[in-house]
Structure 1
Amino acid sequence: MKQEKRGIVNVTFNAKRATPIQKDIEAVENAVITYIAMYVRGFHSTRKDRGLGAEHIKLHLEKGSEGETTLEELLNLGNSLRVYLKNFDEPFIDEKEAKIYEWENKEKVRFRAIADRIRGEGDNCHSSPSNDIIITFYSDRNLSQRMEFKNPKVKAYYENTQSQTSILNQAHKRKQK
């Protein structure tokens, strides 16, 4: 998805206003429009410390920032969403009806991406009514506490994975003795 990554870079660092991120592998293959989230330039409100889109997400690209992400992790956001959907079928819908995607990488860093149909203040909040806007993307790096998953299915999945890893490690240690 080279074109997807190029679009993310151009929205984040250049003058492009928005780029689609395909969230479903079948949608990529069949070009189904309903499974697209728009990554938009967005805005960041320093007064409220809130925002949406690339201008807000760029804050998390700063080394040492709360919720730090790397450029590589941002560029792979579309792939991460597709893997999430492959494993969990659908995003978690919170009380505000935002779609929450959460996962953990091999280094045990947890990530959250939130998409919604919200139109807010700022310069580039354009989206067709059928598309979600990626509001934010961050990790639990440099947070005071480890991120708690909001989605009970995701939480159970990673707790089960940790339990299995712990059991395998204990068995391995016993074999070595």
Structure 2
Amino acid sequence: MNFKDFLQKFQDIERSLQKETRGIYNVSFNAKRATPIQKDIEAVENAVITYIAMYVRGFHLKRRNKGKGAEHIKLHLEKGSEGEITLEELLNLGNSLRVYLKNFNEAFIDKNGAKIYEWENDDEVRFRVITDIDEQGHTSTTFHSSNEIIISFYSDRNLSQRMEFKNPKVKAYYENTQSQTSILNQAHKRKQK
């Protein structure tokens, strides 16, 4: 691949990722009803229509404190809210899911059949995305049909206790990472003495 082809491919990926981010923003704050979340970077590179899920406007019922999609997730954007997320974390949702899939290959499926994606950032904040089947079979002529939608996205910020990972693979991964970090920190302290 020559430099010109590489540059064009890079620009195409960048445009596609910007479009995804814009779509998430527009579903959350404007009139857009739904946007696809790319499953993997190869899909972005090759313009393959494969999506992990649709990010939809959704709803939130205050009385029952229940909902799904952007209207429900926006509650977590409020400063100091339980499960607080930042706007940057929301807009970066597609990339976070791709990184999760690169590391763990597939979502954890809970007893109700919902798919769960979990991870921890460099500041040790834990996140969870829940997707499920849309009973209404949401489809759109502008997007590949998908009946999997993002129900919720939140962190363990401002929760009464730290989020426990439901996926045993994720739990083991972060326990191992913490053990390695602890060993490296102890070695570094010994070296400084």
* TM-score band, normalised by shorter chain: over 0.9
- Of 138, 141, 150 in structure 2, the residue corresponding to residue 126 of structure 1 is 138
- Of 100, 123, 135 in structure 2, the residue corresponding to residue 107 of structure 1 is 123
- Of 28, 35, 38 in structure 2, the residue corresponding to residue 22 of structure 1 is 38
Total equivalences in the alignment: 173
Distance 2:163 2:123 in 1: 14
Determine whether 1:13 maps to 2:29: yes
Structure 1 vs Structure 2: percent identity of aligned residues? 82
CA displacement at 1:34 relative to structure 2: 4.0
SS of the aligned residue for 1:3 comes to helix
Alpha carbons 1:34, 1:130 under 8 Å: kept: no
Structure 1 length-normalised TM:
0.92
Matches for 1:1-177 after TM superposition, within 5 Å: 1-119=17-135, 126-127=138-139, 130-177=146-193
Alpha carbons 2:82, 2:157 under 8 Å: kept: yes
Alpha carbons 1:104, 1:111 under 8 Å: kept: yes
CA displacement at 1:23 relative to structure 2: 1.9
Greater relative CO (CA pairs within 8 A, separation 6+): 1
CA displacement at 1:59 relative to structure 2: 0.1
> Residues 31 and 93 from structure 1, CA distance in 2 versus in 1: closer, same or farther, beyond 3 angstroms?
farther
Distance 2:95 2:138 in 1: 23
Q: Which runs of 5+ in 1 are unaligned?
A: none
> Residues 31 and 98 from structure 1, CA distance in 2 versus in 1: closer, same or farther, beyond 3 angstroms?
farther
SS of the aligned residue for 1:33 comes to coil
Alpha carbons 1:19, 1:38 under 8 Å: kept: yes
Alpha carbons 1:113, 1:137 under 8 Å: kept: yes
Q: Which runs of 5+ in 2 are unaligned?
A: 1-16
Supply the RMSD in Å over aligned alpha carbons.
1.5
Q: What residue identity is the alignment partner of 2:66? A: R
Q: What residue identity is the alignment partner of 1:8? A: I
Q: What residue identity is the alignment partner of 1:70? A: T
Alpha carbons 2:138, 2:146 under 8 Å: kept: no
- Deviation string for 1:59-113 (max 9, x for gaps)? 0000000000000000000000000000000011111111100000000000000
CA displacement at 1:25 relative to structure 2: 1.9
Structure 2 length-normalised TM:
0.85
